Amino acid sequence: GAGVSQSPSNKVTEKGKDVELRCDPISGHTALYWYRQSLGQGLEFLIYFQGNSAPDKSGLPSDRFSAERTGGSVSTLTIQRTQQEDSAVYLCASSLDKREYNEQFFGPGTRLTVL
C-alpha cells in the first residue's frame, strides 16, 4: 500500500517568504508527527497530531512555525517569514495511534533551502 508522502520534495525560497509543506499520512493512521533534520541540530521533534488536535506545540522552533491537520488526514506545516536557519529537511511520520510501541513510518521528506 501507499506510504507516507510529502510535497514538495524540494523547495527553494527567498528569505522572508512563507512556505507550506504538505504531508499525506498512511490511510487509517491517527497519529502524525513532524520532525526536522538539519546539520546543526540532527533530527528533532517538532509537533504531534492525534486526529486533528496537536496537544503540544512546544517543539516548534518559533512562532513563525505553525501546523494544522484536517479531516484526520493531511497535515500542513507552514513557516512564515523564512530565515536561513530554517533550511533543513522536514520529515513527516505517521503511526496507527499514539501508543509507544507503534512504529512511526516516515515520508521521504521535503528539503527546504532558504536563500
| Chain residues in the site for another protein (CB under 8 A) | 4, 31, 33, 35, 42-45, 48, 50, 55-56, 59, 91, 93, 98-101, 103-109
Smallest distance, Å, CB 110 to another protein? Answer: 11
Give the pairing of strands 42-50 and 110-114.
unpaired
Burial status of residue 102 (CB atoms within 10 A of its CB: 0-12, 13-18, 19 or more): middle
Q: Which is nearer to another protein, 34 or 73 (CB)?
A: 34
Single-letter amino acid, residue 75: S
Q: Which is nearer to another protein, 82 or 107 (CB)?
A: 107
